[in-house]
Amino acid sequence: MSTTLHLSENLPARELELRWQRCRALMDKLAPEAGGLMVFSPLNIYYFTGIMNSGLFWLPREGKPLLALRKGADRAALEAPALTTVSYRSYAQATQLLAGAGCPLTPAFLVEDGGLTWSQGQGFAKSFKDSKTLPGDALIARARSVKTPYELAIMRETGKRHYQVTCVELPRRIKPGMSEEQIGRELVRLYLDYGHHLLARVNSPALIPFIGTLAAGENGCYPTYSNGILGFKGLHPASPYLGDPGTVWQPESVLILDCAFVFEGYLTDKSQLYFSGSPGKMPEQARRAQACAIAIETAMAARLKPGAIPEEIWQAGRKMAAEAGFAENFMGLGAHQQPFLGHGVGMCMDETPVFANRFTDPLEEGMVMALEPKFALPGIGMVGVENNFIVTPRGGESITTRTPDLKDDNGDCIFIE
């Protein structure tokens, strides 16, 4: 498999215009008093410009946007030549720079609150004390939640590589008796071979997962510090990702992998279950729970159509788990039980919307959603599945399995003897 996609070396100008148009349409709908949007974080600046850099991006409701950078304007001229780019030293210069570039600041505008540290935010507030600022993070998240055809093409390719690594190549390289760390090393080697960009981003500044996590046996129920479902020890308390050097994957036990594959700025989020033995050796409870997870994913994937309500999908999945007798095991155990069934994916692992209570805005065509029903089983570990689906009028189109209808082994357990 080629390690490059070559959709475009840089983001096409038309692609950027589509993103600006969607954001402006949302401003018209959700923030009519705002005259524009100001963005600060490198990731969102990349989304709007095609350049990964910290700085200040101004998207006026009308007219040409402006990118202001403390450093890197010469690089920006190479990577986004059609974009107006200027240099600046402090936020105090921004008003003058915007006016000089022909896109003056408006009396009220949206700001990306999450793109600034506390100290930066204080400095920003002093520089713009005469303007009315409005929170813009939710609008940005909503804009990013619907993918353009360009983004979907990248994510389909990402999903293909993700499936090939976790369901085809990795099973050939792992076996019982290997430690979690050794299995993690094999995963990293494959990821590099398949063009993984290494860093999987999340929206929370407190957690930046690297590659993913895996757990053998009861480690799948290990206490977790995050909002994820899978329990795991990780390499070390200072490096809580991949696998524990001291835990060996035993014969006739489960191993579960929950990881992201990142390619050209976008990721897919997938979980895969393995069992070290023949199907007949798998504990009955694990077999039933895994079958229930696949049934939930299949049923909920069929509902991923424009207009569907995320909260209702969460409630329907939880009902299926309870009817199968797994209410106490669904999405974790005890205090670590998580109240959601899945989430949006794209440039981050935890995008909006979420299949959870209070998420009542309808799904839109072009969203990419992860469904991840899992069950924590004491004495066994974690079982379950996670795949990613594009919301379409026909239901969810899987991009992380071999076929979109899940009628093969893609969402099921892989047995390794």
pLDDT of residue 209: 53
Q: Which residue range(s) make up the domain with 266?
A: 146-415
pLDDT of 204: 63
- Whether 372 and 245 have beta carbons less than 8 Å apart is answered as no
| pLDDT, tens digit (0-9, with 9 covering 90-100), for 151-171 | 999 999 999 999 999 999 999
Within this chain, do residues 220 and 335 fall inside the same structural domain, yes or no?
yes
Summarize the confidence of residues 200-204 as an average pLDDT: 76
Q: Are residues 77 and 201 in the same domain?
A: no
Same domain, 182 and 136: no
CATH, residue 100: 3.40.350.10
Out of 129-138, 270-279, 311-320, 342-351, least confident range: 129-138
pLDDT band at 176; cut points 50, 70, 90: very high
Determine, yes or no, domain membership for 4: no
Q: Are residues 82 and 187 in the same domain?
A: no
Same domain, yes or no, for 118 and 139?
Answer: yes
Residue 191's pLDDT band, with cuts at 50, 70 and 90, is very high
Q: What is the pLDDT of residue 205?
A: 55
Of the residues 82, 117, 143, the one at which a domain ends: 143
Domain boundary (111, 143, 175) is at: 143
User: Do 125 and 246 share a structural domain?
Assistant: no
Distance CA 21, CA 30 (A): 14
- Residue 374 shares a structural domain with residue 252: yes
Q: How many domains does the chain have?
A: 2
Is pLDDT above 70 for 207? Answer: no
Indicate whether 190 belongs to any domain. yes
Whether residues 387 and 341 fall in one domain: yes
- Lowest mean per-residue pLDDT among 23-32, 115-124, 233-242, 390-399: 115-124
What pLDDT band is residue 405 in, cutting at 50, 70 and 90?
Answer: very low
Looking at residue 233, what is its pLDDT? 85
Q: Rounded mean pLDDT of 336-340? A: 93
Asked if the structure places residue 2 within a domain, the reply is no
Q: What is the mean pLDDT of the chain?
A: 89
Q: How confident is the model at residue 37 (pLDDT cuts 50, 70, 90)?
A: very high
pLDDT at residue 317 above 50?
Answer: yes
370 is a domain residue: yes
**Statement: residue 410 has pLDDT above 60:** no
268 and 212, same structural domain? Answer: yes
Domain end marker among 77, 111, 143: 143
